[in-house]
Structure 1
Amino acid sequence: MSDKFFFKGRQDARVNHVQSGYQTKANQKPGSKKFPLSLVVTSEERKLAIEAQLAEAQLYGQVTVDTRDGAEESIAALTVLLAKSDTVKVEKVPARNEPCVCGSGKKYKKCCG
């Protein structure tokens, strides 16, 4: 009989909790003071524009200029953070016996509910 199994063939429960559910990088918010964005641009004018975008969005980042031939910009992390939409808030749905929001004068449960 194997030493991995115990009474009624069940595995040891103490081993299961070791690797489950713990996210080590969950609190690392990119663009914060502790974890600034590292961005690369190709000109000084572009650097000033990117720094203005960072200041407007209240983000932190290190912008470096790479003037080599064939150098590419890497500002993908900034565009992802700027394109992130806000939380959608839905208005409260009226209760069943309140008047309907469409203006028919009927109760919500008889009209649109």
Structure 2
Amino acid sequence: MSKLFFKGRIETRQNHVMSGYNVNRDVKAGTEGAPINIVVPTELRKDEIATIAQEHSIIANITVDESQDENTIELDTLLNKAKPTVFEKRLNRNDPCNCGSGKKYKKCCA
């Protein structure tokens, strides 16, 4: 038998597989498959948000509700994506020195 053989009720296994974190990378927030939901207090603010969403090609469901606070967290998250940090290559001991002497780094500037 393989290690992946499931012992137990199959309906329990299916419920477990269907729940949990969404790892479906095909559906991104702000597309037709998963529009973002935004709540704003006024029609003027709705027009501003709609313009911003259209500029960035984001599909959003904007609701005007004066009784609720403004909720634009999903839009802010899409607009301010974290960028990966890129580090400079660190010199190894046997690499040529960056001062231009032609010597190895370990014998020149180390």
TM interval, shorter chain, is 0.5 to 0.7
Match of 1:80 among 54, 57, 77: 77
Runs of 5+ unmatched residues, structure 2:
8-12
Is 1:109 aligned to 2:105, yes or no?
yes
Identity %: 25
CA-based RMSD of the aligned residues comes to 3.5
Runs of 5+ unmatched residues, structure 1:
1-10
With over 3 angstroms needed to count, the CA separation of the structure-2 counterparts of 1:94 and 1:33, relative to structure 1, is farther
Partner in structure 1 of residue 47 of structure 2 = 48
AA aligned to 1:36 is: P
AA aligned to 1:75 is: T
Q: Report if the CA contact (8 A) 2:39-2:68 is conserved.
A: no
Offset of 1:46 from its aligned partner? 0.6
Q: Report if the CA contact (8 A) 1:41-1:73 is conserved.
A: yes
With over 3 angstroms needed to count, the CA separation of the structure-2 counterparts of 1:54 and 1:105, relative to structure 1, is farther
Q: Report if the CA contact (8 A) 1:94-1:108 is conserved.
A: no
The TM-score normalised by the length of structure 2 is 0.62
Higher helix share: 2
- C-alpha offsets along residues 39-91 of structure 1, whole Å, 9 cap, x if unaligned? 11111111111112212322111112113xx3222211111222222233445
Secondary structure of the corresponding residue to residue 70 of structure 2: coil
Q: Report if the CA contact (8 A) 2:40-2:65 is conserved.
A: yes
Structure number with bigger Rg: 1
